[in-house]
């Protein structure tokens, strides 16, 4: 990694309210550009990200967040809230999945109050500092400032109190089964919480330990709504209140750690803090974030673009989270969220492959291959412990979404990083084959409708719900297996089988509409068919969104549609149509409908994942300038560095990784191949510092608001006309020189040899 670039980002222009640019020369370090509040202005009805400010280390086991929502509310922090109820350790991947293993800490003054509604305090964003490695807020009703700085499995709190004889800290272990014990002689509170939203074994617990640097003058436990004299309590809803007298401005520190294994392991995890003071730990956290964010250095954009970029990069480095710990001897171990045992080895969780196979995992393979190597090792352990690969893990198997996209995640990783990293690819191959041919214990594990898919070549509409979505994704997943099987030199018959099955998308193509359509078990298309009707055979979308889900064989789709001209017109129609929808199948609105509607980009529903690659398909249709136009439109219109900065659910880094890739100028349309498809870069220069100490340097000095089109491109000094880039070539180190223009170059990237990969062209 090139350290000379770390921490220096030159922003040469900033947009004023008049739309003009003014010179800026700012040398902030990368983490100072991140806004964890981007995307927090969301609610149940419309998502502008549906995220909370995660105060955490990259891929950390535990996150912390200020809690404005009530106990159990998936919207733990919303930007328009006015009161904070506590500071919560959270493992929540999204409000729809909700949380597990959570507990909270809240300082108060005055009358002793411990219930959420009683202890909450007004706050203002004007008195709130939010970074990935440090959080601070002034609690107005208590005249207390709370600060947090985290490690991967621990955190250090600093509370600044006024002069009072009534200073308290409330530790809430939450309901659905919890335990608390106050140990005054050690200035310590220990406890566990079992609160979860599913996906855990019966013995699940999150054990926590909190050590204060000030002696308690009072201590009490609470049981539900009642304060009790006991200092040790096990009940449905427990918590503790400890109190002390404080001087004006006195700072009370609390070391906090937790473990999914035991109290003893929580004590070991507490050692991550060491002897560091609050400020020392804060600086170490800042350094970790700068080192990781410094892998990509954008230059020459506006302040808004730079903040958006780094905020998206931060979100791309949170999930899947580490679910492993180190024992007293430094050995890696984990509590299994699948069988409840304590086992050696790595484990990661909290990601849904339906979302993240598309760009988040390809991003890791390019920029953080060492991280994904650990994740792959964890996936092998997940299979050994559950008998299945998780499609949505939080922390164990969850029954949500469709597809069998673990195949893509495994294949893309091995094809790009497998030969350089040690993990059990043979077990993972066994796992993907098992998942591809069997229905699992949950609909979202293995393949629902696997028997019919194998027999008929599609999942029947009248047998399994969301059948068209499943068929299209299974066909792509079979392609990923085909690619992996080739790389592993599996028998030719096996390779041919998955290649053949990857063509199953053709079974749902309806030539009368030039769209995909659900099909009945008897071979007839389902009726009636309305392409803008959400649901039915599709997942969180309609046929206009899902018909492009032929990631691996766009030329085959072009042929089905009757050629490039018809194909491109069909792409154009996505943007030309009004953002209308038929919600009769759902019986009401789902938030994804509203997000498409308000974005006003036709049927292009970027706020949800199925269509996010579609813009790049203009490259396959020999009209790459249209991809260049719409990629810039999407970045400009649907992403901002503000609390409403996303256009739908951020979804564990997927929507953020889309922006990171697109700002760099290319995108992984077909994971499990060696190619990225070109869009156009957003910045005047981007440097990617690869793990192998090579660099990818992307120059586009004439980039501007109007210059969004590629006039020409040189790769390592040589003219380059193709609409794609090779991963293998890029990671050797590369220099890309883009000449940008305000006029589309309709003669570049139009020939057959310039087009991206399609299986049909093999």
- pLDDT at position 28: 87
The pLDDT value recorded for residue 419 is: 65
How many Å apart are CA 676 and CA 416, to the nearest integer? 12
- Map 540-607 to HEC letters: CCCHHHHCCCCCCCHHHHHHHHCCHHHHHHHHHHHHHCCCCCECCCCCCCCHHHHHHHHHCCCCCCCC
- Biggest CA–CA distance in the chain, Å, is 81
> What pLDDT does 58 receive?
98
Domain locations along the chain: 34-293, 302-326+346-761
Answer yes or no: are the C-beta atoms of 348 and 323 closer than 8 Å.
yes
Residue matched to tokens 């093999």: 762
**3 state DSSP class of 179:** strand
DSSP 126-138: GGEEE-SS-EEEE
Q: What is the pLDDT of residue 421?
A: 73
> What proportions of the chain, in percent to the nearest 5, are helix, strand and coil?
30, 25, 45
Can you tell me the distance from the alpha carbon of 117 to that of 620, in angstroms, rounded to the nearest whole number? 56
Query: What angle, 0 to 180 degrees and rounded to 10, lies between the N-to-C axes of helices 278-293 and 303-315?
Result: 100
Residue with tokens 């099955």: 501
Q: Tokens 């156009």 correspond to what residue?
A: 680
Contact 248, 163 (CB under 8 A): yes
Among residues 236, 155, 163, the alpha carbon closest in space to that of 195 is found at 236
How far apart, in whole angstroms, are the C-alpha atoms of residue 294 and residue 7? 7
Residue range 34-293 forms a domain whose CATH class is mainly beta
Residue 26: what pLDDT? 61
Beta-bridged to residue 218, according to DSSP, are: 243
pLDDT digits (tens, 9 = 90+) for 247-298: 999 999 999 999 999 999 999 999 999 999 999 999 999 999 999 999 999 9
Residues 30/36/37/43 CA torsion (nearest 10 deg):
140
* DSSP assignments along 188-254, one per residue: EEEEEE---SS---TT--EEEEEEESS--SEEEEEETTEEES-SEEEESSEEEEEEEEE-TT-EEEE
**Residue-by-residue DSSP string for 721-733:** --SEEEHHHHTT-
Q: What is the spatial distance between Cα 28 and Cα 719, in angstroms, rounded to a whole number?
A: 35
Distance CA 173, CA 103 (A): 5
CATH number of 302-326+346-761: 3.30.2080.10
Helix (H, G, I), strand (E, B) or coil at 686: strand
Residue 575 has what pLDDT?
A: 98
Burial 41-72 (b: 16+ CB within 10 A, else e): bbeeebbbbbbbbbbbbbbbbbbbbbbbbebe
Strands 509-510 and 392-393: unpaired
439, 447 in Cβ contact below 8 A?
yes
Q: 48 by DSSP, 3-state: which?
A: coil
What are the phi and psi torsion angles at 53 (to 5°)? -70, 110
Per-residue pLDDT at 586:
78
pLDDT at 27: 64
* Residue that is written with structure tokens 């046929």 in the block: 543
Q: Which residues contact 185 (CB under 8 A, 6 or more apart)?
A: none
Distance CA 579, CA 660 (A): 26
Beta bridge partners of 224: none
Each residue's pLDDT tens digit, 106-126 = 999 999 999 999 999 999 999
Q: Nearest to residue 300, comparing CAs of 712, 646, 698?
A: 698
3-class SS letters over 271-284: CCCCCCCHHHHHHH
Low-confidence ranges of the chain (pLDDT < 50): 1-25
* Side-chain half-sphere CA neighbours of 571 within 13 A: 27
Cα–Cα distance, 136 to 125 (Å, whole number): 10
Q: Which residue has the tokens 């996936």?
A: 379
Tokens of 709: 């089109």
Q: How far apart are the first and last CA of the chain?
A: 36
Residue 322 CA to residue 337 CA, distance in Å, equals: 12
Residues 6+ apart with CB under 8 A from 750: 622, 623, 624
């Amino acid at each position: 990694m090139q350290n000379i670039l770390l921490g220096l980002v030159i922003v040469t222009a900033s947009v004023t309210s008049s739309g003009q640019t003014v010179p800026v020369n700012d040398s902030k370090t990368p983490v100072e550009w991140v806004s964890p509040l981007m995307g927090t202005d969301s609610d149940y009805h419309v998502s502008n990200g549906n995220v909370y400010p995660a105060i955490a280390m990259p891929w950390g086991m535990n996150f912390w967040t200020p809690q404005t929502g009530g106990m159990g509310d998936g919207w733990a922090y919303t930007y328009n809230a006015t009161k904070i109820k506590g500071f919560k350790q959270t493992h929540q991947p999204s409000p729809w999945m909700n949380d597990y293993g959570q507990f909270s800490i809240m300082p108060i003054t005055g009358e002793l109050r411990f219930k959420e509604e009683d202890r909450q305090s007004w706050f203002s964003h004007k008195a709130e500092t939010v970074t990935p490695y440090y959080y601070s807020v002034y609690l107005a009703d208590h005249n207390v400032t709370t600060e947090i700085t985290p490690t991967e499995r621990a955190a250090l709190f600093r509370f600044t109190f006024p002069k009072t004889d009534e200073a308290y800290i409330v530790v809430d272990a939450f309901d659905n089964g919890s335990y608390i014990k106050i140990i005054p002689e050690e200035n310590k509170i220990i406890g566990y919480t079992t609160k979860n939203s599913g996906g855990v074994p019966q013995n699940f617990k999150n054990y926590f330990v909190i050590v204060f640097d000030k002696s308690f003058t009072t201590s009490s436990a609470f049981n539900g709504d009642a304060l009790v004299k006991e200092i040790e309590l096990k009940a449905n809803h427990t918590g503790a209140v400890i109190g002390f007298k404080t001087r004006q401005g006195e700072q009370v520190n609390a070391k906090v750690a937790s473990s999914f294994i035991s109290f003893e392991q929580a004590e070991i995890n507490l050692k991550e803090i060491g002897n560091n003071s609050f400020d020392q730990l804060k600086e170490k956290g800042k350094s970790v974030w700068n080192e990781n964010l410094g892998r990509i250095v954008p230059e020459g954009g506006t302040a808004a673009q730079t903040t958006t970029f780094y905020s998206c990069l931060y979100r791309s480095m949170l999930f899947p989270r580490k679910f492993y710990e180190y024992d007293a001897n430094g050995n890696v171990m984990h509590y299994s969220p699948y069988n409840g045992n304590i086992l050696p080895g790595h484990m990661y969780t909290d990601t849904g492959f339906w979302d993240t196979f598309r760009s988040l995992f390809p991003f890791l393979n390019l920029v953080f291959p060492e991280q994904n190597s650990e994740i792959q090792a964890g996936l092998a352990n997940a299979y050994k412990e559950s008998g299945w690969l998780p499609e949505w893990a939080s922390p164990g198997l969850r029954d949500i979404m469709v597809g069998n996209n673990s195949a893509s995640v495994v294949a893309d990783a091995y094809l790009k990083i497998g030969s350089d990293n040690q993990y059990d690819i043979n077990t993972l191959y066994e796992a993907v084959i098992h998942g591809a041919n069997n229905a699992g214990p949950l609909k979202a594990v293995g393949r629902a409708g696997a028997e019919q898919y194998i027999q008929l070549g599609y999942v029947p509409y009248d047998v399994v719900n969301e059948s068209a979505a499943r068929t299209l994704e299974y066909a792509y997943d079979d392609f990923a297996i085909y690619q992996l099987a080739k790389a592993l030199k599996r028998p030719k018959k096996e390779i041919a089988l998955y290649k053949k099955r990857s063509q199953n998308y053709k079974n749902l193509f309806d030539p009368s509409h030039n769209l995909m359509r659900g099909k009945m078990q008897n071979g007839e298309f389902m009726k009636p068919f309305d392409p803008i009707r959400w649901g039915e055979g599709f997942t969180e979308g309609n046929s206009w969104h899902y018909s492009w889900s032929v990631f691996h064989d766009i030329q085959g789709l072009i042929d089905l549609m009757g050629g490039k001209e018809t194909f491109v017109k069909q792409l154009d129609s996505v943007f030309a149509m009004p953002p209308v929808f038929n919600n009769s199948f759902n019986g009401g609105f789902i938030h994804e409908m509203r997000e498409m509607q308000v974005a006003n980009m036709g049927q292009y529903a970027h706020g949800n994942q199925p269509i996010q690659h579609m813009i790049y398909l203009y490259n396959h249709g020999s009209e790459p300038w249209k991809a260049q136009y719409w990629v810039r439109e999407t970045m400009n219109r649907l992403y901002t560095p503000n609390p409403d900065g996303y256009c739908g659910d951020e979804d564990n880094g997927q929507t953020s990784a889309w922006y990171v890739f697109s700002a760099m100028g290319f995108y992984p349309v077909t994971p499990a191949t060696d190619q990225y498809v070109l869009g156009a870069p957003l910045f005047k220069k981007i440097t990617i510092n690869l793990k192998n100490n090579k660099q990818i340097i992307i120059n586009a000095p004439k980039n501007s608001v109007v210059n969004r089109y590629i006039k020409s491109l040189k790769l390592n000094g040589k003219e380059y006309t193709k609409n794609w880039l090779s991963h293998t070539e890029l990671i050797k180190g590369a220099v890309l020189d883009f000449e940008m223009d305000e006029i589309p170059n309709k003669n570049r990237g139009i020939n057959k040899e310039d087009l991206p990969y399609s299986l049909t062209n093999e």
